[in-house]
Structure 1
Amino acid sequence: MGVHRVVEVAQSLVFGLVALVSSPPHVVLVGLDSSGKTTALLRLKYGQYVNAVPTVGFNCEKVRCGGGQWLVWDVGGAERVRPLWRSYTRATDALIFVVDSSSGPDRLEEARLELHRLTRQQNHECLALNRARPPLLVLANKQDLPGAKDTQQLAKALGLPDLPQPQAWAVAAACAVTGEGLDEAMAALHHLLLKTKKTHKTRK
């Protein structure tokens, strides 16, 4: 193992230990209405399917999964509620954007516009405050439905490669109803968060 790799592993361990003794990362779940945000949150919290009703305001739960503990805010996705996303995501440590993988072109375009609007707002705020940009995990939900797009198709449809270079992102396939892929998705987010913190610390 090379010296640089040893340093990377050591830094990851340090960040992991700090995460254990500090408050859990603040994560916000957003996405269009009916994408499965609340179902995913309740599955992460209780480890089983819980019938969810449309979120009018927000839900907040502390969950343990994917190699860490998280404070997760689930914000409603109805069009009239989306302007409030900015308030919840202003100081977040990480962002999860939930997408219904079986959505048609119009719905995916709507999701793309909302996602890019939100990341632009975060970009401006983080530059002004000299904060690291929160890593973005796109949760490709409802993989059990017919016509569900895979992660590469969704990354292209949502224009993720067009996001500003400092923005760390990943796409993870999941099914919130069965729970399949959720723990792996949170593990990917945990990795992104550690990587973002390390990169931002190096640039200072």
Structure 2
Amino acid sequence: MGVHRVVEVAHSLVWGLVALVHTPAHVVLVGLDSSGKTTALLRLKYGQYVNAVPTVGFNCEKVRAGGAQWLAWDVGGAERVRPLWRSYTRATDALIFVVDSSSSSERLEEARVELQRLTKQQNAQCVALNKHRPPLLVLANKQDLPGARDVNGLAKALGLPELQESQPWAVMPACAVTGEGLDEAMATLHTLVVKARKQAKAKK
């Protein structure tokens, strides 16, 4: 790679990072009810534990985490609310699927079905609009609880390795109550978003 090309790549990366820092990325938190979505959002917002009530509709907060600013939407996870996920995630820059790592096998299967349904819907939307797939971060929450599965076990249970190659994804462990792992998870998502934006720009 020539010096000119190295400088060009570095310049592109710097501007991509600057754009992400100054323009909050749109991210949506979804997942089954009681997985800890609102607790995670409020922890990111205030830097401390805030007792959260079940979300009936949605919450929206501007937060700074993982080296970037985010406009974060937290959508309720009750079964009757899940059809709304499609509307909230249609034009998002990234998606966070929050999972209770200590869930039963039946509950994890329910999460797998919902996640697979959502990613298929997003794929169809992106193909129709000729857009790149928004990165997916699975937040393996409640790692402090007994019986919590590790990230590899959760990835397998949720069928993540079976997702299409065009779907960028990562799994990160966290505990929304203590805040442990949240900033690292958001930093990982930040990296995925920057990469996705660069790839989208390169195709134009």
Compute the TM-score of the two structures, normalised by the length of structure 1: 0.95
Could you say which residue in structure 2 is the equivalent of 1:13? 14
- Counting only pairs closer than 5 Å after superposition, residues 35-184 of structure 1 correspond to structure 2 as 35-184=35-184
Aligned length: 203
Write the distance in 1 (CA, Å) between the matches of 2:30 and 2:80: 14
Counterparts in 2 of 1:101 and 1:202: CA distance versus 1, 3 Å = same
The CA deviation at 1:12 is 2.4
Return the letter of the residue paired with 2:193. Answer: L
Compute the RMSD of aligned alpha carbons.
1.6
Change (3 A) 1:131 1:146: same
What is the rounded CA distance, in whole Å, between the counterparts of 1:153 and 1:26 in structure 2?
28
- Bigger Cα displacement from structure 2, 193-202 vs 37-46: 193-202
Contact 2:28–2:92, Cα closer than 8 Å, also in 1: yes
Separation in 2, partners of 1:182, 1:20? 18
| 8 A Cα contact 2:140 2:172, kept in partner | yes
Distance 1:179 1:46 in 2: 11
| Cα-to-partner distance string for 1:82-135 (whole Å, 9 max, x where unaligned) | 000001001111000000000111111100000010000000001111111110
Gaps of 5+ in 2: none
Q: Distance in 2 between matches of 1:2 and 1:181?
A: 39
Runs of 4+ in structure 1 over 6 Å off: 1-6
Q: 1: CA distance between counterparts of 2:6 and 2:162?
A: 29
CA contact (8 A) 2:123 2:133 kept: yes
2:64 match: secondary structure? strand
* Matched residue SS, 1:84: helix
Aligned partners of 2:42, 2:174: CA distance in 1, in Å?
Answer: 14
Distance 1:14 1:111, change over 3 A: same
Normalised by the length of structure 2, the TM-score is 0.95
Residue identity (%): 73
Q: Which residue of 2 aligns with 1:28?
A: 28
Paired residue type of 2:188: A
Supply the AA of the counterpart residue of 2:15. V
Question: Where in structure 1 are there 5+ consecutive unaligned residues?
Answer: none
